[in-house]
Structure 1
Amino acid sequence: MSQSRQPKKSKHKRRKIILFSIMLPIMAIILVVSVYATYLYSKGENALDKAFSSIRDGKGSSLRTQKIDPTKDNMSFLIIGVDDSDVRKFEGNSRSDALIYGTLNVKTHDLTLLSIPRDSYVLVPGTDNSSEQWTKITHAHAYGGPELSVQTVENTLQLPVDHYIRFNFDSFLDIVDNLGGIDINVPVTFTEQDSKDKAGAITLKKGQQTLNGEEALALARTRHIDNDIERGKRQQLVIEAIIQKAVKTTSITTYPKLIETIGDNMKTDLSKDDITSLAQYALTKGVNVKTKTLAGSDSTIDGTYYYTLDEEALHVTANELAKELDFTPPFAAATTDDTVADDATAISAE
């Protein structure tokens, strides 16, 4: 009897050992992922806290009649790209190198990006340290940082800027490299300096390719091969490509590096809850990216080059953007040319 039971006990024991040997690594993986997720969340909170920088005394746009909730309402934002690298040796604020006004329509999932040429001739409001003057819009950031850039764009478009996001070239390079590069159909062959101002360091050929951080920055910066309008279009291409890659990135090792980049090199008045909600929105809903440019012409005033905006076209564009915000069109007399279609790209997390 005892001999007949022994094999059953041994078999049962072996089953327990096999089951334990399978479950142990699974439990270990779950434990590691749980600890990592907790670390990542904590690290993310710290980084977003570090990146947060309020303007306008924490109040919303004066053009709004009520506070906007980015998780529920259509919202606008201003992307400000600056070159404050050690090469420039700036004291205080640098000029903005890129300005993009964006709207997010949470109902239609449309993300509209309007490039504003850096040499646009606009009225920049006065500050404690500077007087009101007509000058290049790039100077607004140098005179009064993100707050004056926001105020200048609001005055120009007569539309609210609900939030701003400022990044420098270091963050740009890190984001693209940490994503493993971005895929872009480069529209033109060109040679450009790198982030250290080494002349002729970057040469890109026209066509579809994967760009690293330095190459993507060169594409976004180059402006002497044509004009600011085309430069703005290239910047839009780069931003679309970054969004496209970010929403499709599945490698968990990517996120800590991106989070560190946000904390070290970016400033925004979006709260961490707002950023988390917007990220979840993009990852689950996807976005349709539309791009716009501002029509205008080259001009010289007192020996200085400016880009003079076409007033009628500016008003039409502002009214179109107002619709994306459920905002009253600011220029009632302007007519919309419905025959002109926006460039659009659908970006999905799938």
Structure 2
Amino acid sequence: MNARRDRTGSHAVFGSRAEWVDHREGRGRTLGRALWLTALSALVPGAGLIGTRRRRLGLLIVSLLVLGTVALALVVRHNGLTATALETAADSRLLRTVLWCLLAGTLVWVAAIALTALTSRPRRSTGGQRAVLAVFTAVLCLAVSAPAALAVRYVDSHLAAMDKVFARPPSSPDGVEPTSALGPPDDPWADLPRVNVLLLGSDAAEAREGTRTDTMIVASIDTHTGDSVLFSVPRNLQKVPFPRDSPLHQLFPNGYDCGNQCLMNAVWTLADLTAEEHPDWFAGDPDPGLTATREVLETVLGLPIQHTVIVNLDGFADLVDAIGGVLVTVKDPIPINGRTFTNAQGNIQLDTSSKVEWLQPGTQRLTGKQALGYARSRVTTDDYDRMRRQRCIVAAVVHQVEPMTLLQRYPQIIGAVGDNVVTDIPRQDLPTWAELTLLVQGATMKSLPFTESNTDTVDPNFSDIRARVWEAIHPAPEAPATPGDSGSSTATASPTDGDRQTTTAPGPQDPGTTTPPDKLEDVGAVCD
């Protein structure tokens, strides 16, 4: 510093403001002051620099921080915290931009801490003082870098999972990308009061290459209330109808009828084999098996299916472990993880020489391996009891995932999803779907299985099935009967076996019909 005295010799004269600040700081530089300013820059990026000769730089960094915080607050206030977070998570480009901004901001923050320590340290400091300040600065830099590193890990896991889950082209006749059925942003479900999602469980090594679907559940969701109904279709349903516009209708115009080899869960394989023999029949369709399965289920239930989610059942255990297990109520002793064989009568038997684990009755938290075994075991029960347990597992996972669990174990959860789930939901619709999922968690969830107690799986009455579906999603209002009501009603016919359309009101029921044991119930009543 080149300061000089005035003519009287009592005052120093400085050539610039920087020289004056440097002179003033030099007299007040102590280790305590340096530690305080460095800590201040760690608490508020750049704030500590305001007390040094780098005051302008500090003011610039703090101003940028304030402007960014105000802008973010305005966006959150306009869209809401949940919508803002979901929109960011669903937009991979925006998420990558946020990631780069986060990295740049962290670098600036760390640099501000280091520069504050450098410009505020005592001029004549001892080796010990320099070491204390250096260690203190390093600790603060690591402290502000750790959250950024964790955020990078979360974002990287999220982006990798999104690329996997949404990587496959949808199963559409022309192979185009899925189109959104949503309406305007203020009411995206205006034109879709109910959305139907097909949940398929595949036993294949990869969910994208499954050939037999032993778990088939259609979730019908009221998009304004979140109330939902789960329809379970048995894998051994026979004579399922193919819609008239399906290529398989040419082979089976009267339904998939060839005995106990022509079951519902064999439709996927049938379509794949037919596509190999007649590729022109499925021209432009990347997934004939998935297309055929979805179309048949639409015809069986009389519901249009907007989207499909395929889950690799072998990887389902990873997802359950990632969320910390799932709490279920076991009704009867269930053997899991043991070997089975088919005896001469065609019945599945348990190999008692294998290592078998028994789940005993009672409410308990299952690991991923136990939950998978619980959902798949049928050696001591049957397909229909297994269907009930599968619905219980689905409902338990939906209702038991807590926000804090998602935050703490997000990389594991999203990694399990990316490895074992694939869907044709458009990526740009994810924020709306995420909000709908939150709505479903707080609403009622009912279940209607089609089992041997209410359906003849060998010679099913599909009109009756569609009537039950219609009644489940259009429950009669609970109101007292009007005097003079004759009890008659006017109804439109249910769709025929060869048509794929929304189910219409069923015709009058037989007065002598009794309510079957398997009926529409709250999932809690079935599972608890």
- 1:76-225 pair list within 5 angstroms: 76-85=196-205, 93-125=210-242, 127=247, 131-132=251-252, 133-134=256-257, 135-144=262-271, 145-193=289-337, 199=354, 201-225=356-380
Partner residue, 2:448: 292
Q: Note the alpha carbon deviations across 1:179-212, whole angstroms, 9 max, x for none.
A: 2211111121121345999855332111111111
- Which structure carries more relative contact order (alpha carbon 8 Å, separation 6+)? 1
Question: CA separation in 1, counterparts of 2:436 and 2:455?
Answer: 42
The residue type paired with residue 465 of structure 2 is: L
The residue type paired with residue 332 of structure 1 is: P
Partner residue, 1:237: 392
Report the Cα offset of residue 341 of structure 1: 5.5
1:16 to 37, 40, 45: 37
The yes-or-no answer on 1:333 pairing with 2:507 is: yes
The residue type paired with residue 238 of structure 2 is: Y
Q: TM-score, normalised by structure 2?
A: 0.53
Which range is displaced more, 211-220 or 265-274? 265-274
Q: Note the alpha carbon deviations across 1:73-108, whole angstroms, 9 max, x for none.
A: 32101111121149xxxxx75221111011111211
The yes-or-no answer on 1:69 pairing with 2:182 is: yes
The residue type paired with residue 139 of structure 1 is: A
The residue type paired with residue 19 of structure 1 is: L
- CA 1:224–1:14 in 2, change beyond 3 Å: closer, same or farther? closer
Question: CA separation in 2, counterparts of 1:284 and 1:322?
Answer: 17
Report the Cα offset of residue 252 of structure 1: 3.4
Partner residue, 2:79: none
The yes-or-no answer on 1:315 pairing with 2:315 is: no
Q: Note the alpha carbon deviations across 1:152-193, whole angstroms, 9 max, x for none.
A: 111111211111111222221221122221111112112134
- CA 1:257–1:315 in 2, change beyond 3 Å: closer, same or farther? same
Structure 2 gaps, min length 5: 1-24, 45-139, 272-288, 342-350, 476-500
Partner residue, 1:303: none
Partner residue, 2:522: 343
CA contact (8 A) 2:171 2:291 kept: no
Could you say what the CA RMSD is over the residues aligned between the two structures, in angstroms? 3.9
CA contact (8 A) 1:173 1:213 kept: yes
CA contact (8 A) 2:196 2:305 kept: yes
CA contact (8 A) 1:219 1:234 kept: yes
Which structure has the bigger radius of gyration?
Answer: 2
Question: CA separation in 2, counterparts of 1:192 and 1:40?
Answer: 32
Which range is displaced more, 278-287 or 268-277? 278-287
Q: TM-score, normalised by structure 1?
A: 0.76
- CA 1:40–1:295 in 2, change beyond 3 Å: closer, same or farther? closer
Question: CA separation in 2, counterparts of 1:216 and 1:165?
Answer: 19
Q: Aligned pair count?
A: 325
Partner residue, 1:89: none
CA contact (8 A) 1:52 1:268 kept: no
Question: CA separation in 2, counterparts of 1:38 and 1:277?
Answer: 20
CA contact (8 A) 1:115 1:292 kept: yes
- CA 1:107–1:123 in 2, change beyond 3 Å: closer, same or farther? same
Q: Which secondary structure state, in structure 2, belongs to the residue aligned with residue 183 of structure 1? A: strand
1 or 2, which has the higher helix percentage? 2
Q: Which secondary structure state, in structure 2, belongs to the residue aligned with residue 50 of structure 1? A: coil
- CA 1:307–1:191 in 2, change beyond 3 Å: closer, same or farther? farther
CA contact (8 A) 1:146 1:166 kept: no
CA contact (8 A) 2:303 2:502 kept: no
Q: Which secondary structure state, in structure 1, belongs to the residue aligned with residue 380 of structure 2? A: coil
Structure 1 gaps, min length 5: 87-91, 301-305
Question: CA separation in 1, counterparts of 2:402 and 2:250?
Answer: 42
The residue type paired with residue 342 of structure 1 is: E
The residue type paired with residue 120 of structure 1 is: L
Question: CA separation in 1, counterparts of 2:235 and 2:215?
Answer: 6
- CA 1:154–1:235 in 2, change beyond 3 Å: closer, same or farther? same
Partner residue, 2:83: none
Q: Which secondary structure state, in structure 2, belongs to the residue aligned with residue 57 of structure 1? A: coil
- CA 1:152–1:287 in 2, change beyond 3 Å: closer, same or farther? farther
Report the Cα offset of residue 151 of structure 1: 0.9
Q: Which secondary structure state, in structure 1, belongs to the residue aligned with residue 228 of structure 2? A: strand
